[in-house]
Every structure is written in structure tokens, then in C-alpha cells.
Chain A
């Protein structure tokens, strides 16, 4: 029992935000009379927040290195605009168009990373300039107009669902099966990790605790896929998100790159003197942000089925808020990819729940502002205890 208590005490921030998310979900589930968790709405929440989650993952890495990126919304808009230009106006093949957009993301990230990492200009300034620059370029590319519509194949990433190969009726069997398979792989992986740790004679958590954890996560996975199966099944964008979350979590926890990113943010001097190429790491993190901003722009343009000059407005603030609610610290060195996702979901469920209740956009903004402040205040007060 003490073990669990310690576990919770040591991870109060991590669990705190998960508990807050569950609390918010229950609250709105009640307040909306059960609409919030209807299959249609769950699918909606995922799709509405997908592009913010993509940005939040990149933003988390940026904030971990002790930097900030204010330009992601403008970059997403710019990428949407050139996607429109290439694919709609020039009739380029969709695959090639998307590839070009991602290459542009790399170039934009390298541009900003260069100024931050190698010229030592504060990232706040560089990306503030980027925010204006790429918003301006968006207007130039679009000539102030909207380009629409995109071909269907372009939209599939953001709006389509995995087809049910079983040709199902009201329930998408394939999605349910994917859920079962996912939980199966998850359990096998956890068992493998545990066995490895035992091989090294490490102390592992008690078997009952281990089984409880596996059980809870398996239930959550299958409940989610079942919900989705009741509507149209698994959206492609959720598959993308899952790949990104697993991939970036792996990079941050299990690779030298991840460790170096944390080290740069934790203490750049010490990292430098330990042989970490601090400038290169910052540069890479900005390139990464560029690519994820591009992906976000592609998803958003697809969802809107148009490239518009106003796309991506205030995305940067949503992404920063998600990272901060999810446990990032502006002093750097702290935060997890999973935290950023939870942070984005907290904001997303708040948005969705309040909209369902018919609360106006004015009050929504105000309440979101207070939630952001409260999350950080909770953290600061908790640290000072």
C-alpha cells in the first residue's frame, strides 16, 4: 500500500493532470446529459484536437530545451496555403504535394533553429518574427483568398476512417479487433520489459500492482476502440497520433537524442561540458517543430477542406497551453510527450463540453484562461510545499 502511496506522491503532477482530465470528462458528461461520451462526440473530440495535439508534442520538446515557438500557427497556415497552391492550383499529385509540404516544414524549422541555436537570438524574438513572416507569406501565397476544395485523397488523413474489412453493420468489427490486438501487443511488451528487468535482478513492482495496471490500460484501450467502432471506426488521424505519441515517447525516454534534449534544457552548461552538442540539439528540435507544424497545417487544411488566410490562428497559444498544463516548465528540462497530449485533451474536452452546453466563445476563452493559470499555480504551490 505504501508503494502505491509513494508512487502517487512522486508523480503528483502526472497523476494530477490525468485525474483532472477524468474529472472534467465526468463533469461534462453529467452537465451535457451524456452527450459528451456519445461515440459521435468522442470521434469529434479526437478529430477537432488532432492538429493541436501534433503541435503540442513538438512544443513540448521545444519547451524542454528551454525555448519557445510562437510561430507554429502561422507556419501551419503557410503550409496549408502552399498545399492548396500545389495540389489544387497546380494540380500536383497529392502524395508529392504532402511530401513537399513536409520538406518546407524542415526548411522553416531549420531557418528558425539557425537563428536560435547558432546566432543566439532568443527564440521568443525569432519565432515572433516567424509568426509575422509566415502569416504574411500565407497571405501572399493565397493572395488573400481561400483555395478550395482539396481532392478527397488529401482529406482522408484528417477526415476519413479505417474501412471495415469485415463490411460491418452498426459496429465496426475491424476497429474492435484492432483494439484487442493493440492491448495484446501492449501486454506482451510489458511482460517482456518486466522479464528483462528480472533478468537484471532489479526490483520490480508487485505482481498484483502490475496486473492491475495492465488491466486498467487494456480496459481503457478497448473501451475507446469500442466507442469509436459504434460510430465510423478508427480515424486515420488517430492512427497518426498514436504513432507520433509512441514514437516521440520512445525517442525522449529511450534514445541518446532524448536524453540530450532533457540535458540541454536542464543545464546547458553542464550538458555542453559533458560533450552534448547543445547547439545542434536545439537546431534539431526546431526542425522537428517545423515538420510537426507542417503536418498540423496539412491536417487542418484537410479538415477544413480549404486553405484559408486565417488558418492556424492562435494555435501557438493552444499548443503552449497544452504543454504547460501537461507539465512543461519554462525553465526547461521538464515535461513528457504524454503530458502534452493530456494537456491538449484537457483543453479540448473543455472546449467541446462548453460548446455542447451552449456556452458562448467569450466565456469559453475566459474559463480556459483560468484553467491554464490554475494548472500552473497548482504546480508551483505543490513544488513550494
Chain B
């Protein structure tokens, strides 16, 4: 190693209500592959956004020192000019443009505004050769696979004379072979002196390629492990990733668990657009009356896809499998049927899928249960107001009146409105997808209390969360998912973060 290329020291970055990064230190040596690892929400992506100038200088505190010089990036162009290139999880290529056009987008080989196509094509060919991609530069992005698109992104990075390459979950959408190619390419780059920062959930591949690993947890740096010195096992890394104490963040509950109420068997589904890609594999789980079960999994494990495919087949194609309520098979072919069968789904992204932001609290609360306040489709407006008022006070939605637009509420109160909407339909089975995402601690506690009360009333709760402590604190039983399959089932008394993390990172397809 020939010294430090990047030093990020005491980086702190806050979002309204959340401290995403808290005095984070990251030290990257020249020419190494440095892995960055942590749970969802640990702050990895935020840290990389600070580094690349997506979060501009001034919006965070702390210093970025690149090659001994302090850097104050105001935008991504400034960091790119110094050779820092970030490749995001969601690829930023334009499907309708050719490979060559994408690679030189914003950096067109042109003089006086006129593009030199020959030069563009020649240079693209060279770049594609470097990343081992043997296809014509004129092919459109939409016509090549995800693995090849990933390589195009890297070629694009190379075109910018990259010194420090950051890859955010580059292999999450790739199959085994493509992942292998990509990792080999990184090792090649290392020989050429290009430094890489690799963010990934796949521990095996991290251990294989990286020189050092920095672990983040709750926005803080936990430790940096050096691979050739320390004897690093997956368990050792997992221990660093979790290991948080679960003090009394969760309200006490004495579960009263009854018979199995809801059951899903052999549930499989395919991607809605790319219908050859299987997303869910023979999923089987059950939930009892009065029970809260958790579904743990890393990003891309298929948790939301599972929930939405069950809720009226709102996600995916070629869905197969059976769902039973009280031992009887039920029909959940559309959302209306699912609701009639007593299922409710509180979506992951409340702004996009949960709320009608421009409508009032009242109209949002009654939307899924309008038939209860209407007669032959004619609304009883007074009854509706009464219902909305009672739910507002029951779950303590903090809004001046029920006529307030959902838009103007805080995240926690918006989430309560969504919960209120489903509570009003009086469901027996509630699927809660990341019910506390982006909510401050106080509001989280209130939401936990609401969830507990629902369970006490004999409802079955299915809780999806990326925060393991939350699942451990709330659930009676936890299923883990990895790559579209249930990989484990753990009872509350046996569960801890290490065990869950182990199942969640299980690479069952390999």
C-alpha cells in the first residue's frame, strides 16, 4: 500500500429528526478494495453521498481529505473532477440510448456542440474492452442484461479517469456468474492502482475480494478490520454489524396466542416486467391469532414483494400458491377480495402507496372502508366525520382537525393515518411493511403500542422490518428471507441478531 488516498473524519449528517451519520471516520488506502458494511439504514449510502457531493459541503460537518487535500464538494461534478465515481444501486443509465451515448452522457466527445461520433465509438470500444464486455457500442441499454449494464456503468466511470470507484450493492441484482466477473474486474483494477469502495450485504464475496472492512452501525463507525491480519469470519463481521442493546424501546406485552389464523403455502411469483425472473420461491409461513410475526431480510430479499403479492396480487406475475384462513382456502385475487377476507396491508412507502396526500385526514381514513359509512353508495357525511374523529382520538393522530390535508402532517402522524385507515376496515390479518420507517423515536413507541393493542384484540400481525432490534422487540416469531425464499424461522426466545443475520445472508442459490 502506498499511503492514504481518502480520509473522512468525524462526519456528522442529520436529517430532520434523524442523525444519519454520527462522527463517522473512514480511512481508505491507495490501491485497496475497501468494503463498507452495515445493516439497512446504518448510514453507508449516506456516507457515500456525502463523499460524492450529493449532500453538498455545508450540509454535514467533518472533513473529507483526498490525497492530502481538504475537499468541499458542492455537487457531484466537483467530486467527479477529482476522480471519485459512484455507481449506485439503481443504475443510472438511459435505456433508450446506446452504450456509447450513455458512457459519454454529459461528457460528450464534441467540439462546438457537434458530437464526434467516430471518436465516441472508438473510445467506447476501448473502455468496453477494459471491462471485458464484447458487444457493439451502438447497442441500446435496454437490450442488454443487468450484469452487462453494471459493466457499462463501470466503463462510464473509467471514461472519467477514475481514481476512487465506489460501488453500492453492485451484485445485488446479478446472478452468480455475473457477480464473479464483476469481482474479478475489481481485482484487475486493483492491480492497475484503482482504489475501490465496495458496499455489499454478501459477506462471502466481501471476504473474498476486500483488503479491509469498515463496519457501520446506527450511523457510527464501529471498527475497521484488516483481512490478512485479523482472522475474519462471517460471524465476526455479523457481530460487529449488530450488537446493539435493546433497552426499553418497546412497550411490554403479554401475548395471548391462539390457533393458526392465516397460512400461505408454496407461494411463488415472478417479476412484473421481466416475467422470466422468479422473485418468490415456494414461500410458506403462518400466523396465529394474537400473534405478531416478523419477516426479516436484507434489501432485495423479497419481503415487500411477498406482502404485496399476497395482498390482492398487487405485485408480480404468474403468482402461484395457496392462502388459507382458519384452514379454509381463500380467494385473494384482487385487493377488494383481500380486504373482504380481512387482510390489510400498510405499505412500505406511505407517501407513494399509502396516502392520498392532497386529501384530508378524514378522507384518507375512510377510503378503504367507505361501504361502512354509506348506504347504496350514498355517503353519510356526518357518520363519516364521527368515525374519522373517533379514530383520530383513538390512535392519537396529531392534526388540528380531521380536515387537515395528509400532506401537512409529520411522518409519524401520516403513518398513524394509514394505520387508522386499516384499523377502520377491522381486519383480522394486518401486514405492516416497515411501519416505523423515517419516524422519530417517540412516534415509533406510539405505533408499537397500537400494534400491540391490535394483537391483544386477537388480530394476526405480520411485521416486515429492516431493523432487527424492532423485530426482536416486537415479534413472537421471526421468519427470515433471502433472495425470495424463507431461509429460517426463529422463536422469540431463541432469536438474536446474529442468528437472524446469518439466515438473512444465506446464499441458498449458490
Binding site for B on A (CB under 8 A): 196-197, 199-200, 202, 253-257, 259-260, 262-263, 266-267, 269-277, 333-334
| Residues of the A chain whose Cβ atoms lie less than 8 Å from the Cβ of B352 | 267, 269-270
Q: Which residues of B contact A257 (CB under 8 A)?
A: 377
B345-364 at interface with A (beta carbon < 8 Å): 345, 347, 352-359, 363
Pairwise interchain contact A259-B378, C-beta atoms closer than 8 A: no
Q: Which among A266, A274, A276 has the highest number of chain B CB atoms within 10 Å? A: A274
Q: Are A200 and B386 in contact (CB under 8 A)?
A: yes
Known: A266-B359, A267-B357. A273 touches B314 (CB 8 A): yes
Interface pick from B212-220, B267-275, B288-296, B366-374: B366-374
Q: 28 A-B residue contacts at CB 8 Å?
A: A196-B382, A197-B382, A199-B382, A254-B381, A255-B374, A256-B371, A256-B377, A256-B378, A259-B366, A259-B379, A262-B356, A262-B359, A263-B356, A263-B359, A263-B367, A266-B356, A266-B359, A267-B355, A267-B357, A269-B353, A270-B354, A270-B356, A272-B314, A273-B311, A273-B312, A273-B345, A274-B421, A275-B335
Q: Is B336 an interface residue (CB 8 A)?
A: yes
CB contact between A256 and one of B314, B355, B379, B421 (< 8 Å): that residue: B379
> In angstroms, how far is the closest chain A Cβ from the Cβ of B387?
11
Q: Most B CB atoms within 10 A — which of A255, A263, A273, A277? A: A273
**A residues less than 8 Å from B386 (CB atoms):** 200
Across-interface contacts of B366 in A (CB, < 8 A)? 259
Number of A-B contacts (CB under 8 A): 82
Q: Are B363 and A259 in contact (CB under 8 A)?
A: yes
> Given the complex, which residues of A lie within 8 Å of B336, measured CB to CB?
275, 277
Closest to A269 in B: B353
Instruction: Give the residues in chain B near A269, CB-CB below 8 Å.
Output: 352-353
Closest 6 CB pairs of A and B: A266-B356, A274-B368, A267-B356, A256-B377, A200-B382, A274-B367
Chain B residues engaging chain A, CB cutoff 8 angstroms: 311-312, 314, 335-336, 338-339, 345, 347, 352-359, 363, 366-368, 370-371, 374, 377-379, 381-382, 385-386, 421
Q: Which residues of A contact B314 (CB under 8 A)?
A: 272-273
Question: A197 to chain B: which residues have CB within 8 Å?
Answer: 382
Complex contacts, B356 vs chain A, CB 8 Å: 262-263, 266-267, 270-271, 333
Min CB–CB distance B332 → chain A (angstroms): 12
Please give, as numbers and ranges, the residues of chain B lying within 8 Å of A333 by CB-CB distance: 356, 358-359
A256-B371, A262-B359, A333-B359 given as contacts; is B353 within 8 A of A273 (CB)? yes
Q: Which among A255, A273, A274 is the interface contact of B379 at CB below 8 angstroms?
A: A255
Judge whether A202 and B335 touch: CB under 8 Å. no
- Nearest-Cβ distance from residue B378 to partner chain A, whole angstroms: 5
Q: How far is the CA of A271 from the CA of B368 in the complex (A)?
A: 8
**Distance between Cα atoms of A275 and B339 in the complex (Å):** 7
Measured CB to CB, the closest approach of chain A to B68, in angstroms, equals 45
Given known contacts A200-B385, A275-B335, A276-B367, A270 and B353 CB-to-CB distance under 8 angstroms? yes
Q: If A266-B358, A277-B336 touch, does A271 touch B367 (CB 8 Å cutoff)?
A: yes
CB neighbours (8 Å) of A259 from chain B are 363, 366-367, 370, 379
Residues of chain B with a CB closer than 8 A to A276's CB: 367
With A202-B382, A254-B381 known as contacts, the answer to whether A266 contacts B357 (CB < 8 A) is yes
Per the bound structure, the CA–CA distance linking A274 and B364 in Å amounts to 10
Residues of B within 8 A of A271 (CB): 356, 367
Assembly CA distance A253 to B359 (angstroms): 13
In chain B, what residue has the closest Cβ to A262? Answer: B359
Complex Cα distance, B377 from A197, in Å, reads 20
CA distance A277 to B386 in the complex (A): 26
**Which residues does chain A contribute within 8 Å of B338, judged by CB atoms?**
275
* Closest beta carbon of chain A to B401's beta carbon, Å: 10
Chain A residues with Cβ below 8 Å from B353 are 269-270, 273
Task: Tell me, in angstroms, the Cα distance from A199 to B355 when the chains sit together.
Answer: 31
